[in-house]
Amino acid sequence: MDTHQLISNMMLRNFYSVMVITTTCVSVVVFPVISNAAGAPKKKSAPAILVFGDSIVDPGNNNHVATIVKCDFPPYGRDFVGAKPTGRFCNGKVPSDFAANILGLKELVPAYLDPTLTLQDLATGVSFASGGSGYDPLTARIVSVLSLSDQVELFKEYLNKIRQGMGEEAAATIISQSAYLICVGSDDIANTYFSTPTRRLHYDINAYTDLMARYASTFYEELYRIGARRIGVLSLPPIGCLPSQRTSGGGPNRSCSNSSNQAAQLFNSKLSAVLDSLSKTHPDALFVYLDVYNRLTSIIHNPIRYGTIEASILCTSVSDSHTCKDASKYLFWDSYHPSEKGYGILSDMVINEFAARFM
CB atoms within 10 A of CB 99: 26
What is each CA distance from 316 to 55, 143, 330, in whole angstroms?
16, 19, 17
The two most distant CA atoms of the chain are separated, in Å, by 60
Which listed residue (58, 130, 244, 337) is catalytic? 337
Active site residue 64: no
State how far Cα 213 lies from the chain centre.
Answer: 17
State how far Cα 234 lies from the chain centre.
Answer: 8
Cβ(163)–Cβ(171) below 8 Å: yes
Q: For strands 125-127 and 49-53, give the pairing.
A: parallel
Active site residue 55: yes
Give 330's strand partners.
309
Cα–Cα distance measured from residue 239 to residue 341, given in angstroms and rounded to the nearest whole number: 19
Q: Which residues contact 222 (CB under 8 A, 6 or more apart)?
A: 152
Cβ(89)–Cβ(131) below 8 Å: yes
Nearest to 135 by CA among 207, 65, 210: 210
Q: What is the DSSP letter of 357?
A: T
Nearest to 322 by CA among 68, 17, 75, 55: 75
Active site residue 210: no
Helix ranges, the chain (H): 3-19, 95-102, 119-124, 137-143, 148-166, 168-177, 186-187, 205-226, 243-249, 258-281, 293-301, 340-356
Cβ(189)–Cβ(239) below 8 Å: yes
Which listed residue (54, 136, 334, 348) is catalytic? 334
Task: Return the H-helix or E-strand segment holding 286.
Answer: strand 286-290
Cα–Cα distance measured from residue 215 to residue 62, given in angstroms and rounded to the nearest whole number: 22
Cα–Cα distance measured from residue 153 to residue 223, given in angstroms and rounded to the nearest whole number: 11
CB atoms within 10 A of CB 267: 27
Catalytic positions, please?
55, 334, 337
